[in-house]
Each structure stands twice: as C-alpha cells, then as structure tokens.
Structure 1
C-alpha cells in the first residue's frame, strides 16, 4: 500500500522540480549570438556619433545667432570644469545610497516622471525644425508669445519670455505621445528617442569657451570614470538600477527575439555628451578660422570612433564593464593637440575663445574704474590745496 503512495509523491516532486527548472531557464536572458552582438554594438556606435555630428552643427548655428543678437551665451568656466567631477561624484554616490536604502521601484517612479517632462521638451526642441519643414501649408503657423515678468521699472525681471507657434504645439503633442509610450511600455526605442534628444541638446547647448576649459573637464572626468567603474561597483549598480533615458540601449538578441529582445548592450549619455561638447568646440574653432577644411572636427570625430571601438573590444576581451572615458578622453584630447602641433597652430588653438569680448569688456571696465579713481584723487588733492 505504501509503495504506490511513495511513487506518487516522488513523481509529484519530480514534476515540480522540472517545472521550476523550465521556468528558470525561460526567465534567463537568452545568450547573444555573434551576429546579435555585432548589430547591437554597431548600432550603439552609430547612435553615439549622430548626436555629436548634429549637435555640433547646431551649436555652430546657435553661436552665430547669439553673436548677431548680441546675447551672451552661458559657457562653462574653468572653475566649473574643475568642480564638475566632484559634483558628479556626489550625485552618483547619492543615487547609489538611495537605491541601497529605499525601494528601487519608488525611486524609479519619481525619476520616470521627472525625465518624462524633460524628455518631452528635449524631443520637441529636436523635432521642431523637421516638423516645420514637413508641415503642409494648409496648417497655419500662428505665432504666440508667453511673457511673464516680476517687478516694475528698473527692477522688472523676465521670469518667462517664450515665443512659439502652432507648429511647436504639434511638435509637443508628438513628443508627448512618445513620452506616454515610454511611460507605459518602457520600450527601448522610446528610451533611445529620449536619450538621443538629450544628447543632441546637450552637445548643442552646453558650451565650452576655450580649449583649456575643455582639457580640464575631460581630465577630471577621466579619473572620475576610472575610479567609479574600476574602484567600486557604484556606477555599474546605478546604471543597472536606474530606469531612465540616461543611456542608449540596443538588444543583443535582436536576430532571435526581434524588437522584444531583453539582453541589452548599453552606452551612457555622459560618454556621448562630454566628448561631444569638446568636439563641438573644435568645429566652432574650424569655422572661426574661415577655411574650407574642418580638419580638427573630422580628425577628433574619427578618434572618438576609434576610442569607442577600443572600449567595446577591451570589454569583450576582459568580460568586465569598462569606463569609456578611459579610452575616449586620450583620443579626443590628444588628437587635436597633435594636429595643431603638426600644422603649427598650437598657439592659435589655445588662444581661441568663443566669446573673447567678455575679457575685453572686463579690461575696459578696469580701465574706466582706474581712470575715474585717478580723477577723483586729483579732485580731492585740489580741494585739499
């Protein structure tokens, strides 16, 4: 009587184990094929270079517009560049501690809402020229001006001074639709659309005023990246836990699973934007020299590509996450210096500034203040006599 019971229990246990094993295997990431790896990393390299190219071109146009309008552009100073790695380290470690102490789901919910708003605005700004060029004439372009001020007379300050049109509203609606898709599905294509928008806008709007500031920033972040990747597990942990469009991703299992792949290769936006704003500065330097060739821009862009390929190669050889700036910084910083040395333009490269009038204004103010103080002293001496 006991034998059938024992056999029945044994069969039930065996079935349960087999079911659990099959579920575990199903939930595991499917290993990537060589073709899938090539497609994934090739796509990431292309997606990394496109924002740098388009963002650099847009930064030149923005620089020219601000020069014509006389508006002062916000640029990163040497002091800002020195403190940037420290501030970035504090922010990174703060996020790491938050993920360790609090629920990951609650933090990501908060960050998702924040990046949704930023992403919609960034994507709308990126799509605006495209939508304007494709918009049919049947859709009228009605201008609007939102102006909100504080105070009166001399104390009057602009809080909101924004001009837009009906075409911009359509861009915002399209971007909001993509944002809702990202909120509900967290699909990697929506993530990349927001990520690319952030990268292009970052390269376009974040301006380094001169080469020295750029070298200080890149050098500081070179050591920052090495420390947080090789010295600790902080950056890798945050990158894997942080569900926000601050990285570009591409499925390595695309050939087998299609667009619903889950085994992602990733590249952080910092590895695009930081070298990108330096390369954009070199393009503005090329334009300032008024020559047809863009040798500094193109040579450094090629160096960036080679640095990115070196990062991917070393990562696969050692099977460990690599700090991309370890390879990108020497490539992007060394190449223009070498080109300038060969061409005999090292002095002019370091002398170039996007906004040299700021120094001239400071000198004029100092001269005026010195002359006025001298005149005051003469008046005082005359009165004393």
Structure 2
C-alpha cells in the first residue's frame, strides 16, 4: 500500500511539473471578437491570468520562418511589447525565451509540428525568466494565418479547471444503470433457464443464446490477450484501430438485437415467415419482424461507423451501442462461483493499475499506456478514437475541452467486470431466497466505487484506473454480506446453485430402487432440473377408461 501511494503521488508530481493546458485568444488588431486555441505551458516560467479580461492583448509577431536560436534570428528593433511566434528548432527553450525577453518580448509562442511537450528548464532558468512561454500546434498556426488579417493580437490565459464536470453525472447514471439492469437481467434469465423449460413463441426455433461459464484457464488467457492487445495498440495504433472499430460495429449490432428482441417479440405483427429459400440464414424461414429488427440494428451500427467522428451527436449512438453490447455480454458470460469472481476481479485490478500508474515509468513520453490508448494517441495520423468506451462531452468551459480531451471516458471493462459479480449476486439471491440483498448491496458498492473514482480524478487531475476503486468496493461489500448472513461457504463455492438431490420413493412396495451405475449416474448440477422437467411434463399413470378414451380421440386429434 505504501508503494502504491508513493507511485500515485510521484505520478501526480510529474503531471504538475510537466505542464498545464491554457488558451491563446487570437483576434484581428483592434477587435475583441476572436478565437481560442489550445496552448501548453509551464507555470514555472511565468503564470498566466485565469480570466481573459485580465490578460494583456498584445500584438503577435509572426517569426515562424525562424527558430530564434541565435541573436542573428532577432529582427532589427526586437519585439517591444509583442509576443513573437517562432518554430521549435533544435535549441533549448531557455535559449529561445532568453533572446525574446532581452529583446523586449512580453511572451513567447513556440510553434511545434510534433507533439506538444512542456517548455522545461532548471530552477536557475525559471528564476531568470519572467515572461510566459507556451507551445502552439503547427495546425493551429496555419488556421490563425487563414482566419485573421496581417496583424494579430493575442492574449494568453489559463482558466481554472472545474473540480467535477457535469458530464460525470451522465456517465454515473449510464454505468450504474447498465450494471444494475444487466446484472438483474442476466441473473433472472439464468435461473429461469436452469430450472424451467423456457418456451418461446416459436417452438421449432431455439433462439436462446448459450451462456459461457468462465474458468480459471479462460481468465488467464483473457488477461494475456488484453495485455498483448493493449501493447500492440500502443505500438501500432494507426494500423489496428480500424480493426477494433469493425469489431465494435459487428458486436454492438448483435448486442442491440439481443436487447430489443424481447420487446419486439411481444408485438403481434410481423409473425409471418418468408418463403422457402436457400440463403445461408433465411433458409430457416425467420419471421419478418426478425429481419426488420436485424436490418435496423445493422443500420444503426453502420450509421455510427460512417459518422463516428461527428463530435456533436455521434457519441450518443456510441453510448447506446456500447450499453447494448455490455448488456449482451453480461447476459452471455457467467461466473459460476464467487471464487471465480474474486480471481477475475483481482487479476484485472492488477492489470488496470499497472497499465495506468506503472507504465509511465517505461514509456518514452512518460504517458500511461492505458490512458494513451483509450483517449487516442495525440501523434496518431488517423486521429481515430477507440469506441470501447462510454463518452460524454465536457459540459463546463475548460481548456481540456478545447485541447486533446474534449470528452470524459469510462471503459467497457469498468462496467463488465464488476457487472459479472453483480449478476452472480443476483443469481445467488434468487436461489437462496434472500430478497435481493446481495444484488442490491453489490450494486450500491459499485456506485460508491464509481463516486470514489470521480473524486480521485478531480483531486489528481489525471486518468484513473477505475478498477482500483470498483473492485474493492464490490468484492468487499459482497463478502461482508455473505459473512453477515453466515453463507460464505455456499457463496464462495456456488453450492447454493445445486439443491440437495430429491430421493423418489418406489412406485410400489414390490419394486426396489436400482442403484445407479456409471451410465445412469446423474450430474448433481442437472439433477434438480431433470426432476423438475420430468415432474412438469410426465402425466400421472392413466386409468384403463382414460386409455380407452385417449385411443378413441386420437384419430380426431390427428385429423385436426
């Protein structure tokens, strides 16, 4: 715990020492209306005012043809009460800002064609310089040249970051709602399928999706695949991002169909079937409403894929498809025991913490691999973002909204991993008849863990591994309830899912029960379901009159 705490504070110190986001307000000379551009500055050179009205509007000097690394680059007369704009070049930041300051400049904007890095120096240099220095992207510089006239005025300022953005409320409701609905749906569906003969409207078509029980080997393989895929995305992001987008389109359309079908099948229209054919899927003659629903889900997924970079509204479709995908996965994947739940959550807890807090010490840029991949590398040539997150635009005025982080993100793993535990708790509740206490406690624990994540994000102002807070809150809450109810052995091994076998009495006294052999032995996990099915389907022995009546009525039934 001490090591983890020291790493967190070290990462926080690095973040504060590296730099801060600010804004440069450009406008034509003598006009107040203009446009804001993102800048990256180091407050140890000189601090910027927090309000635009308090910032000095000075004439910008376009010196982007020079790098200002020597006195020969300084124009005649210097930069009196001006803010020069120069290219990055190969000299140090100190050399540039020192030349600008001794020649009368009131600030310095360094235009960089590469990724924006903080203008750093040492303590002595910080004390010598008293003008602000900031980095501006080359693309923004070209936009400034096109948008304004020959003379520009610029004012640099750094508004305060809001402690908590209002979009966190939307993300909280979506995440907790998905976990609660998915866990409740998955638990109820699993119990119904295990103990009852589930009949559809179409008795000839079995449309139940098969559930997958997670084993320790599957967990190990899954974690290795996650680590490998995350590293590959970090190294070859531009080549793999389109594959991830395609997979998301396919998986989300399937998830959306799975979520909408229970509602569509209640509509009394479109039950007619298509004619016989030899098409790969349609040879089973599905109903018209099934085909219409499939077409609708695919069209929604394709629409998002085409317009995925429309920041104003595409995030709504992405969140809707993402929630449907999460619900589908919670319904399909099943953790059979609390032991498996603990193993999965603890392993992914370590995975999340490592790739957020530890990897910055190994990367050249000092950035977290997890945060870099989730938000999209700033140096990516495709400028594509991974869709495996819930995203909501920032609702407060913030430099981050103008710079490279205009959205708040929550990964699907932060919903699915605790959601599997919530689904397990609901199944255990139903079978133990515990009035949903495990389900409610685990859901509340998830909500508390998410709130703690938001608080840590606001205090540290850096990307957080949500599982660092979600895993303890959900696991410890479920464990506490099991200890309080004295059901920990059943809860740990999942023994509550296998009721004791029911011994059936012989039909008459002359018959003796035959001991089961290896061929006739019954699996204890399926014994109760077989007994229930046989009791519900097999009618009692018929009397002789009933048999005669049945034989008499049989031809009529056949003719019907």
Contact 1:55 1:200 in 2 (8 A): yes
Q: Match for residue 140 of structure 1?
A: 270
Aligned twin of 1:227: 354
Q: Which has the larger radius of gyration?
A: 2
Q: For the structure 1 residues 216 and 119, does the alpha-carbon distance in structure 2 shift closer, same or farther, using more than 3 Å as the test? A: same
Which structure 2 residues correspond to residues 107-126 of structure 1 after superposition, within 5 A? 107-126=240-259
Distance 1:16 1:354 in 2: 73
Number of residue pairs the alignment of both structures matches: 332
Whole-angstrom distance in 2 between the partners of 1:181 and 1:16: 45
Structure 1 residues 147 and 75: CA distance shift in structure 2, 3 A: farther
Q: Which has the higher contact order (CA 8 A, sep 6+)?
A: 1
Q: In structure 2, which of residues 304, 307, 310 is the aligned counterpart of residue 185 of structure 1? A: 307
Shift of 1:84: 3.0
| Aligned-residue offset at 1:280 | 0.4
Query: In 2 relative to 1, CA 160–93 (structure 1 residues): closer, same or farther, beyond 3 Å?
Result: farther
2:486 to 337, 340, 344: 344
1:211 aligns with 2:329: no
Alpha-carbon contact 1:32-1:252 (below 8 Å) kept:
no
Report deviation, 1:247. Answer: 0.3
Task: Say yes or no: does 1:172 pair with 2:305.
Answer: no
Corresponding residue of 1:196: 323
CA contact (8 A) 2:374 2:386 kept: no
Q: Which residue of 1 aligns with 2:232?
A: 94
1:234, distance to aligned residue in structure 2 (A):
1.5
Gaps of 5+ in 1: 1-9, 149-158, 358-365, 372-385
Contact preservation (8 Å) 2:432, 2:496:
no
Q: Offset at 1:132?
A: 3.7
Q: CA deviation at 1:199?
A: 0.9
Please say if residues 192 and 245 of structure 1, whose CA atoms lie closer than 8 Å, have aligned partners that are also in contact: no
C-alpha distance 174-348 of structure 1, shift in aligned 2 (>3 A): same
Offset, 1:214: 0.6
Equivalents in 2 of 1:215, 1:161: separation in Å? 44
| Paired residue secondary structure (1:248) | strand
2:442 counterpart of 1:300: yes
Gap runs ≥5 in structure 2: 1-59, 64-81, 86-108, 110-139, 148-157, 199-207, 309-313, 360-367, 377-383, 500-515, 522-560
User: What is the CA–CA distance in structure 2 between the aligned matches of 1:190 and 1:197, rounded to whole Å?
Assistant: 11
Matching residue of 1:155: none
Q: Deviations over 1:191-245 (max 9, x none)?
A: 1111111111111111001111111111111111111111112111211226343
Match of 1:153 in 2: none
- TM-fit CA distance, 1:290: 2.3
Q: Structure 1: how far apart are the matches of 2:242 and 2:391?
A: 20
CA shift at 1:306, angstroms? 0.7
Please give the secondary structure, in 2, of the residue aligned with 1:245.
coil
1:238-272: per-residue Cα shift (whole Å, max 9, x none)? 1122634310000113789xxx9971000000000
Cα RMSD over matched residues?
4.0
Cα deviation for residue 347 of structure 1 reads 2.0
Instruction: Work out the CA distance in 2 between the residues paired with 1:315 and 1:113.
Output: 31
Whether the 8 Å CA contact 1:215–1:333 is kept in 2: the answer is: yes
TM-score, normalised to structure 2, is 0.52
Say yes or no: does 1:279 pair with 2:406.
no
How far has the Cα of 1:350 moved from its partner?
1.8
Question: Is 205-214 or 178-187 further displaced after alignment?
Answer: 178-187
SS state of the match for residue 254, structure 2?
Answer: helix
Question: Counterpart of 1:263?
Answer: 406
Q: Secondary structure at the match of 2:518?
A: helix
* Cα distance in 2, alignment partners of residues 74 and 281 from structure 1: 13
Higher helix share: 1
Name the CA shift for 1:11/1:112 in 2 (closer, same or farther; >3 Å): closer
Once residues 465 and 491 of structure 2 are traced to their aligned partners in structure 1, the CA distance between those partners, rounded to angstroms, is 28
Residues 12/334 of structure 1: CA separation in 2 closer, same or farther (3 Å cut): closer
1:350/1:123 CA distance change after superposition, 3 Å: same
- Mapped to 2, the partners of 1:107 and 1:90 lie a distance apart of 13
